[in-house]
Structures are given as C-alpha cells and as structure tokens.
C-alpha cells in the first residue's frame, strides 16, 4: 500500500528556515516524480516543486531561490528545505507522487495528509 507521511511543520519566524520531510512506503521515491503542493488557509492549491526520477528539479516562481527539493534514497524520503520564510508561505504542505500512464499523461495520484507551516512573529 502506498503511503506518504509529512512531518516537520510548525511555527517559524519570518526569515527563518524549516525542513519538511515526506516518508514514503509501498514504492520507491527515487523511481518516481515527486511533488510538493501547498494550500494557504482558506485558499486554493498551489504547486510548489517537483523532483524527477532522474534528479531534475523545478520550482514555482514564488519559492525559487528559497526552497530546495531533495530526496534521500536510503531513507525513501522526500524533503523540502525552506529558507527565508515569509508570512505568505504559511500553508499546509502536501507531498504527492506523480503517476504517468503509457500515453504520457500525468497526475498527482497519491497524497500525504499534509503538514502545517505557520510563518509569524
């Protein structure tokens, strides 16, 4: 059974850093495309970042240069290092596994339960 469990959220002051973890089971993180998606309180979904199986990474403009996505193959875990945090980064952060069918159509099929990050003084 595929399972994703995010940890690491909490209250952090503006300008601070936080690292989110997403422990995966039932599949191999390094063999899949893995994404982070966030949702500010009462708002919609915002894609944050993706890491491809080959290691390439991409970021939303809103976090580029401040956030870093990575993975630890030995721990089968995905990470999101968040630096220079701002109030507008306050959100529930979800990790998700991308799935691509044989025709190349992709979607976020498996999601974690989310972890709340609150940036406030």
Find where tokens 């595929």 sit.
2
Give 30's DSSP letter.
Answer: G
Q: Which of 7, 45, 75, 87 binds another protein (CB under 8 A)?
A: 45
Q: Beta strand 77-82 with 67-72: parallel, antiparallel or unpaired?
A: antiparallel
CB atoms under 10 Å from CB of 51, counted, come to 24
Q: DSSP letter string over 31-100? A: GS-EEEEEE-TTS-EEEEEEE-TTS-EEE-TTTTTTEEEEEETTTTEEEEEE-S--GGG-EEEEEEEEEE
Give the nearer residue to another protein in terms of CB position, either 58 or 72.
58
Binding segment toward another protein, per CB under 8 A, in 22-30, 57-65, 69-77, 81-89: 57-65
Give the nearer residue to another protein in terms of CB position, either 1 or 61.
61
Binding segment toward another protein, per CB under 8 A, in 9-17, 21-29, 45-53, 79-87: 45-53
In whole angstroms, give the CA distance from residue 56 to residue 13.
30
Q: Which two tokens stand for residue 36?
A: 């982070």
Q: According to the binding rule CB under 8 A, does residue 116 interact with another protein?
A: no
Q: According to the binding rule CB under 8 A, does residue 26 interact with another protein?
A: no
Give the nearer residue to another protein in terms of CB position, either 54 or 107.
107
Binding segment toward another protein, per CB under 8 A, in 21-29, 56-64, 67-75, 79-87: 56-64
Contacts to another protein by CB under 8 A: 35, 37, 44-47, 50, 58, 60-61, 94, 101, 103, 105-109, 111-114
């Amino acid at each position: 059974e595929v399972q994703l469990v995010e940890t690491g959220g909490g209250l952090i002051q503006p300008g601070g850093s936080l690292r989110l973890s997403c422990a995966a089971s039932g599949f191999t993180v390094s063999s899949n495309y893995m994404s982070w998606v966030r949702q500010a309180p009462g708002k919609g979904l915002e894609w944050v970042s993706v890491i491809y199986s080959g290691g390439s990474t991409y970021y939303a403009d809103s976090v580029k240069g401040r956030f870093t996505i990575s993975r630890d193959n030995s721990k089968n875990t995905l990470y999101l290092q968040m630096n220079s945090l701002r109030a507008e980064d306050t959100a529930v952060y979800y990790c998700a596994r991308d799935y691509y069918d044989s025709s190349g159509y992709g979607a976020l099929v498996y999601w974690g339960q989310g972890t709340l990050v609150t940036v406030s003084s």
